[in-house]
Structure 1
Amino acid sequence: MAPRATLPPHTPTGLLVFQPLKRRHCAECRRGPLPLLVLEDAAPRCLDCADLGHLVFLPRGDTALTRRSREESALSAVVVRFNRRKSRYERQGVLVEEAALARAEERCLADAEARRRRRVRDARRRAAQDALFAEAFAAEIRRLFPGCPADRARAIAAHSSERGSGRVGRSAAGRALTDMAVTSAVVASVRHLDTPYDRLLMSGVPRHEARRRIAATVETVLRGWTEAGLGSAG
């Protein structure tokens, strides 16, 4: 007899099939040892004798496939096994009609294709949104620093606003295109591309000291990009 213990709390009412922990034989046809059995009047029966031999086993793991297989199957059973350490039965999967499983798989495949197409549409929509935002970010760079070359402004905007990067362009201030966020992105670009900052870091100079050493160069570049616009306005 299967151990006395609590069955899985979410097992629906219906047929239960057990994966025995010990060698068991069918009380009716004497076949065994049985990989799966049904208890009838406290006696083990093989699936064939219990009229469940035509069902196929679907292991647990795919919730959608399991749910749809049971929906499609006129006859089904929940398969459980006793966990001695936890003193309880645990769900292992279900038995369903083979044709029902095939229909459920087709439904899941159709859903998977729909999800794939939705992901493609969402990716295109996000890419369009990102392109528009990068353009707006570059325009703000050019407004604050008119002397910044257009290609450079676009490169800074694209780098700073890359989705998932965690850079300033993805912050709340960056999304709002605040002057501080835009200036921070430009300063970072100048620091890495127009000064020996990276080489200083690689040579072991502490970050704060490296920034101090290149501060004048950064200020010169920014002033040049700012004053270029003032000169043209005059």
Structure 2
Amino acid sequence: MATMVPPPPRTGPLVVQPLKRRHCGECGAGPLALLVLEEGAPRCLDCADLGHLVFLPRGDTALTRRSREESGLSAVVVRFNRRQSRYERQGVLVEEAALARAEERCLADAEARRRRRLRDARRRAAEDVRFTEAFARNIRRLFPGCPADRAHAIAAHASVRGSGRVGRSAAGRALSEAAVVSAVRAAVRHTETPYDQLLMSGVARHEARRRIASAVEATLAGWREGGPTGEGDPAGESGSTGEDGAGAE
């Protein structure tokens, strides 16, 4: 029978997952799924006084660490990798009661993490609401003619967390006038002019912006002055400017 490659020395019991069929050199049991090498001969877990332990596969670092902390006796399980010519860790053997206690600790931690995530989510949601309201107030300050619901919609769109939009830029978080105006101009461009239709029809972005620029500025001017342009659909004079500009090309 070929001699097994001895695993590297380490403190504490070391258990091997054999690659070939092995039988216990003491009681003859086998083939063995797990064995201990004693003086070069395989021993089953019962003969090695490890038969009362249960196997915990690798993968959950916290559970493994806590299981070994809770267990008075534990063993590392390894298997030889022929391609790498080395033993690799597969898991641990621990006392069953220790594993149960470790699982309870991990579940408690998971519940604590879940509650913390909920608290953080509620806190971020409250922060987002406050920021959106502040952004909307600044829109109304700069554009008093912009309807309140429209200002809130623009603010909510511009300040979505993780969106990368202007409301989440450094200037946006500081509520700078340039950022607020930029958000309002973008909203007017997309929702109150034929800009999107121009893009869909194949017009280049810069050309599409040029065509609707006068309509955008007319709407912004009306909102700044608090005039009727901001209260309804800017499809009047400013809208006809955009349409004429598009038709002139």
TM-score normalised by L of structure 1: 0.92
Partner amino acid, structure 2, of 1:133:
F
Partner of 1:92: 90
Superimposed CA distance per residue, residues 88-138 of structure 1 (whole angstroms, 9 cap, x where no aligned partner) = 111111001111111111111111111111111111111111111111111
Match of 1:115 among 113, 116, 140: 113
- Quick one: distance in 1 between partners of 2:76 and 2:6? 17
Q: Kindly indicate whether the alpha-carbon contact (under 8 Å) linking 1:72 and 1:103 is maintained by their aligned counterparts in 2.
A: yes
Partner of 1:232: none
Decide whether aligned partners of structure 1 residues 6 and 211 sit closer, same or farther in structure 2, where only a CA change above 3 A counts. Answer: farther
Partner of 2:58: 60
- Quick one: distance in 2 between partners of 1:5 and 1:200? 71
Give 1:13 deviation, angstroms. 2.3
Match of 2:180 among 149, 158, 182: 182
Give 1:219 deviation, angstroms. 0.8
Decide whether aligned partners of structure 1 residues 43 and 168 sit closer, same or farther in structure 2, where only a CA change above 3 A counts. Answer: same
Give 1:2 deviation, angstroms. 3.2
- Quick one: distance in 1 between partners of 2:86 and 2:134? 60
Higher RCO structure, 1 or 2 (CA under 8 Å, sep 6+): 1
Q: Kindly indicate whether the alpha-carbon contact (under 8 Å) linking 1:26 and 1:45 is maintained by their aligned counterparts in 2.
A: yes
- Quick one: distance in 1 between partners of 2:72 and 2:6? 29
Give 1:199 deviation, angstroms. 1.4
- Quick one: distance in 2 between partners of 1:205 and 1:115? 51
- Quick one: distance in 2 between partners of 1:72 and 1:5? 26
Give 1:5 deviation, angstroms. 6.4
The structure with more radius of gyration = 2
How many residues end up aligned between the 2 structures?
225
Consecutive unaligned residues in structure 1, runs of 5 or more: 230-234
Superimposed CA distance per residue, residues 136-194 of structure 1 (whole angstroms, 9 cap, x where no aligned partner) = 11111111111111111111111111111111111111101111111111111101110
Partner of 2:214: 216
Q: State yes or no: 1:2 paired with 2:7.
A: no
Match of 1:51 among 44, 49, 52: 49
- Quick one: distance in 1 between partners of 2:84 and 2:211? 64
Superimposed CA distance per residue, residues 47-100 of structure 1 (whole angstroms, 9 cap, x where no aligned partner) = 111111111110111111111111111111011111122221111110011111
Partner of 2:67: 69
Match of 2:162 among 139, 164, 179: 164
Partner amino acid, structure 2, of 1:165:
S
Consecutive unaligned residues in structure 2, runs of 5 or more: 228-249
Q: Percent identity?
A: 80
Decide whether aligned partners of structure 1 residues 45 and 188 sit closer, same or farther in structure 2, where only a CA change above 3 A counts. Answer: same
Structure 1 runs of 4+ with >6 Å offset: none
RMSD: 1.4
